[in-house]
A and B are shown apart, each in its own frame.
Chain A
Amino acid sequence: MTASPPAPQEPLTPGRGTRLDPWYASYAERTHGMKASEIRALFSVANRPEVVSLAGGMPYLAGLPMEIVAEVTDRLLRERGAVALQYGSGQGDVALREQITTVMAEEGITSHPDDVVVTTGSQQALDLVTRIFVDPGDVVVAEAPSYVGALGVFRAYQADVVHVEMDDDGLVPEALEATLTRLAAEGRRVKLLYTVPNFHNPGGTTLSLERRPQVVEIARRHGVLVLEDNPYGLLGFDDLTENPVMPALHSYNPQGVVYLGSFSKTFAPGYRVGWALAPHAVRERLVLASESAILCPSNMSQMSIATYLSTCDWRGQVKSYREVYRERRDATLHALAEHMPHATWTRPAGGFYTWVTLPEGLDAQAMLPRAVTELVAYVPGTAFYADGTGHRYMRLSYCYPTPERIHEGVRRLANVVNAELDLVRMFGTGGAGTRLAGTLNPGPNQA
């Protein structure tokens, strides 16, 4: 006799209700915050071409030499297809790990390929580091605001995120010191300091040279591991001879920092290849955790990137990306200055984002439906705070639309802001009100 699978709840029995999900009572507690939200639904409109989307952080892939990429892929499959399509090493392809050390050397990091773990995007590295360090209720300290994708991971592992103030020079060391001291006094276990020091997502700011050793030292003194997330580090807009690339936090204390890197912004996100550089013992656990999660990262993706790095002018490609994004950053800042005199914003020296502070009383989250009606989209500030604050802010991404579209988008946005300001003043509500339902998880193409 064969065992039959459990029958799902009969959907429709007169007098008996159905929740349309027979497993409703079975889900783990950590998934209870995972819901589809109105915000996510609104973003589905943002993908239409009529909408100027200043929401998603999608790299400008039209700037990639697709013919060359196609040749690389073609050659790889013809010459080493049997390896590329096979399972690989849990830690990642050794040739690629060697090349990753060369890429990191551009940012002043001295590393050994043995200490690199290749992951499925740096998002998986974030997940693995959190998995091996964070128990439910542990504290993760992060900038205010912080990367939405990281907050999602911390939430999934039931961490308690405590935000620390940031200003135009990045994380404020005094605020970090005060926060860690307070948490220690409260008997809280702080496991990680999560930080994006370069061209912050979503803040657009960069941690100053002066503060870098201070932040690392404060974390060391409090016994907190630094999780340095650096996807945009090579995408600075300044003349590199005048303002060389900032040293990574890792370079100040390799034993106290796990560094995360990615090819998603410097090459292409579709490969889903990122990495973690970690102290020896941490690396061992990361490899074991990664093997239990995915067995191994994609050989096809890793070998494609390795071939690209060794046969193509990848530095030239990064330089060309820098120029494209600098032009778009300039277009954004010009358009903001022209159309949004009531708002303020950060001036990013690299990366994809500027962080806009709206006039007092406005709520960027409540305003989003009106913006979508006017065919412009952004990510409301609330997505980047674990504590439900951030209503007055919005993140604008300039990486994907052309400068002309950016200008048009900001012009539309200014109309939305003015209309909302009018309404809020009329009703005297000060924006402190109705929130759109659901956890603010904008989805992969908006993160």
Chain B
Amino acid sequence: MTTTHTDLDVLVLAGGLSHERDVSIRSGRRVADALRSAGMTAHVHDVDGDLLASLRQARPDVVWPILHGSTGEDGSVRDVLDLVGVPYVGTDAAGSRLSWSKPVAKTLLARAGASTPRFTTLPQTLFRELGTRGVLERVLDVLGLPLVVKPASGGSALGVTVVRDAAALPQAMVACFAYGEEALIEQYVDGVEVAVSVVDLGDGPRALPSVEIATDGAYDYDARYNPGRSEYFVPGRLDEAQERAAADLAVLAHRTLGLRHLSRTDMIVDGDGVAWLLDINVAPGMTETSLFPLAAEASPYGVEELYAAIVRRAAGR
């Protein structure tokens, strides 16, 4: 049975000035379409100088920020929404800040008992002070190869390099610093790439079916956004213990960082059944090739009903 929700007016925030503007706009449109299909009113708005005036004028019941990168995920836009006093979907500013910083999120989760690849975080300024050679040699000695170099904040594939050869490490650092001031270098873990989405509709966080990503090569920008390069398995081809470990990790991340309504945790599940935390997203991608919608579709709710339920929860109805 399909319920209609004509009573709710949702303003979907998408776009912004981040490197992931394009993905955000595509995500925003998909969510707005799904909400309209569920009977709600939904408009997509960019994050620009008109936003506050639009919020005052349109007085939406709920804002759904679907902004990837920088102000969208680091908590700042959510701070503004709190200042404006409008209910919004998703994690508050504090939780967003914790998730936005991979080193912080990994540290908190490790203390809470999660497994996460061993890592170090190195800002660009540090290399200016200490030089590069000695530091990178220590990194290689301690962490070994292969390594993954990625911007310390954000959750996209931008600026991410898998380093299998020591000679490629400096270039990976330069590529990473093109996107941010801090680089996270972590040990590469071999295993199955899995994303577990979590929703909390008022009865505590619950994991949706896992999504396994099998890619011919790196799960890079091209593989993420061009249909065909990646094959998705929903639920992932995991045994019962692995599926449980993956779900437990995602729920633990959601609870530990104090996340709200929805999140997505990316991980590697290794041959021993250990789920290794890579990244936590408070504004997961919602495009036609994104992982959260795949999980939602395989859940008992389906995409439209789940999105509508999330909005109702955010609106307190």
Interface residues of A (CB under 8 A from B): 11-12, 14-21, 24, 35-38, 40-42, 44-45, 48, 50-51, 366-370, 372-373, 375, 420, 423-424, 426-429, 432-434, 436-438
* Shortest Cβ distance from residue B71 to the other chain A in the assembled complex, whole angstroms: 12
Q: Which of A12, A370, A426, A437 contacts B297 (CB 8 A)?
A: A12
Q: Which residues on the A side are within 8 Å of B23 (C-beta)? A: 41
Q: For the complex, give the distance between the alpha carbons of A17 and B18 in Å.
A: 32
Q: For the complex, give the distance between the alpha carbons of A37 and B235 in Å.
A: 28
Q: For the complex, give the distance between the alpha carbons of A407 and B167 in Å.
A: 39
Q: A20-B227, A369-B159 are in contact. Are A14 and B235 (CB under 8 A)?
A: yes
Q: Which of B170, B221, B228, B231 contacts A437 (CB 8 A)?
A: B221
Contact check, A429 vs B170: say whether CB atoms are below 8 A apart.
yes
* Shortest Cβ distance from residue B111 to the other chain A in the assembled complex, whole angstroms: 32
Q: A37-B221, A38-B221, A427-B171 are in contact. Are A20 and B20 (CB under 8 A)?
A: no
Which B115-149 residues sit within 8 Å CB-CB of chain A? 124, 127-128, 132
Contact check, A45 vs B21: say whether CB atoms are below 8 A apart.
yes
Q: A366-B178, A432-B171, A437-B222 are in contact. Are A44 and B22 (CB under 8 A)?
A: yes
Q: A19-B231, A20-B232 are in contact. Are A426 and B132 (CB under 8 A)?
A: yes
Contact check, A369 vs B237: say whether CB atoms are below 8 A apart.
no
Contact check, A429 vs B178: say whether CB atoms are below 8 A apart.
no
27 A–B contacts from the bound complex (CB under 8 Å) = A12-B294, A15-B237, A19-B232, A20-B228, A20-B288, A20-B289, A35-B222, A36-B225, A38-B158, A38-B221, A45-B18, A48-B17, A48-B48, A369-B158, A369-B178, A370-B178, A373-B179, A423-B177, A424-B174, A427-B132, A428-B170, A429-B170, A429-B174, A433-B172, A434-B175, A437-B220, A437-B222
Contact check, A18 vs B19: say whether CB atoms are below 8 A apart.
no
Q: For the complex, give the distance between the alpha carbons of A93 and B27 in Å.
A: 44
Q: Which residues on the B side are within 8 Å of A24 (C-beta)? A: 227-228
* Shortest Cβ distance from residue A364 to the other chain B in the assembled complex, whole angstroms: 11
Q: For the complex, give the distance between the alpha carbons of A31 and B214 in Å.
A: 22
Contact check, B19 vs A41: say whether CB atoms are below 8 A apart.
yes
Contact check, B297 vs A44: say whether CB atoms are below 8 A apart.
no
Beyond the given A36-B226, A426-B127, A426-B128, could you list 4 further A-B residue pairs with CB under 8 A, ordered by the A residue number? A37-B222, A38-B221, A423-B177, A434-B175
The reply to whether the CB of B161 lies closer than 8 angstroms to some CB of chain A is yes
Residue of chain B at shortest CB distance from A51: B17
The reply to whether the CB of B234 lies closer than 8 angstroms to some CB of chain A is yes
Binary A-proximity of B169-188 (CB < 8 A = 1, otherwise 0): 01111110111000000000
Q: For the complex, give the distance between the alpha carbons of A18 and B233 in Å.
A: 7
The reply to whether the CB of B25 lies closer than 8 angstroms to some CB of chain A is yes
Q: Which of A19, A369, A370 contacts B228 (CB 8 A)?
A: A19
Q: A369-B178, A433-B171, A434-B171 are in contact. Are A12 and B298 (CB under 8 A)?
A: yes
* Shortest Cβ distance from residue B20 to the other chain A in the assembled complex, whole angstroms: 7
Q: For the complex, give the distance between the alpha carbons of A436 and B225 in Å.
A: 14
Contact check, A366 vs B175: say whether CB atoms are below 8 A apart.
yes
Contact check, B214 vs A36: say whether CB atoms are below 8 A apart.
no
Q: Which residues on the A side are within 8 Å of B237 (C-beta)? A: 15
Which B13-45 residues sit within 8 Å CB-CB of chain A? 17-23, 25
Contact check, B231 vs A18: say whether CB atoms are below 8 A apart.
yes
Residue of chain B at shortest CB distance from A368: B178
Closest 10 interchain pairs by CB? A433-B171, A21-B227, A44-B22, A434-B175, A17-B231, A24-B228, A427-B170, A41-B22, A20-B227, A437-B222
Q: For the complex, give the distance between the alpha carbons of A41 and B179 in Å.
A: 14
Residue of chain B at shortest CB distance from A42: B19
The reply to whether the CB of B101 lies closer than 8 angstroms to some CB of chain A is no
* Shortest Cβ distance from residue A326 to the other chain B in the assembled complex, whole angstroms: 32
* Shortest Cβ distance from residue B162 to the other chain A in the assembled complex, whole angstroms: 11
Q: Which residues on the A side are within 8 Å of B179 (C-beta)? A: 369-370, 373
Q: Which residues on the A side are within 8 Å of B222 (C-beta)? A: 35-37, 437-438
The reply to whether the CB of B153 lies closer than 8 angstroms to some CB of chain A is no
Contact check, A17 vs B232: say whether CB atoms are below 8 A apart.
yes
Contact check, A19 vs B17: say whether CB atoms are below 8 A apart.
no
Q: For the complex, give the distance between the alpha carbons of A36 and B174 in Å.
A: 23
Q: For the complex, give the distance between the alpha carbons of A367 and B174 in Å.
A: 9
Residue of chain B at shortest CB distance from A20: B227
The reply to whether the CB of B230 lies closer than 8 angstroms to some CB of chain A is yes
Q: For the complex, give the distance between the alpha carbons of A369 and B179 in Å.
A: 6
Contact check, A427 vs B25: say whether CB atoms are below 8 A apart.
no
Q: Which residues on the A side are within 8 Å of B17 (C-beta)? A: 45, 48, 50-51, 375
Contact check, B128 vs A369: say whether CB atoms are below 8 A apart.
no
Residue of chain A at shortest CB distance from B171: A433
Q: Which residues on the B side are within 8 Å of A18 (C-beta)? A: 231-234
Q: Which residues on the B side are within 8 Å of A424 (C-beta)? A: 174
Q: For the complex, give the distance between the alpha carbons of A38 and B227 in Å.
A: 15
The residue among B19, B161, B214, B229 with the most chain A CB atoms within 10 A of its own CB is B19
Q: For the complex, give the distance between the alpha carbons of A200 and B91 in Å.
A: 51
Q: For the complex, give the distance between the alpha carbons of A369 and B23 in Å.
A: 15
Q: For the complex, give the distance between the alpha carbons of A426 and B174 in Å.
A: 9
Contact check, A429 vs B19: say whether CB atoms are below 8 A apart.
no
Q: Which residues on the A side are within 8 Å of B172 (C-beta)? A: 433-434
Contact check, A433 vs B19: say whether CB atoms are below 8 A apart.
no
Q: For the complex, give the distance between the alpha carbons of A366 and B170 in Å.
A: 14
Contact check, A369 vs B19: say whether CB atoms are below 8 A apart.
yes
Contact check, B233 vs A17: say whether CB atoms are below 8 A apart.
yes
Q: For the complex, give the distance between the alpha carbons of A295 and B174 in Å.
A: 51
Q: Which of B22, B228, B235 contacts A21 (CB 8 A)?
A: B228
Q: Which of A15, A37, A372 contacts B19 (CB 8 A)?
A: A372
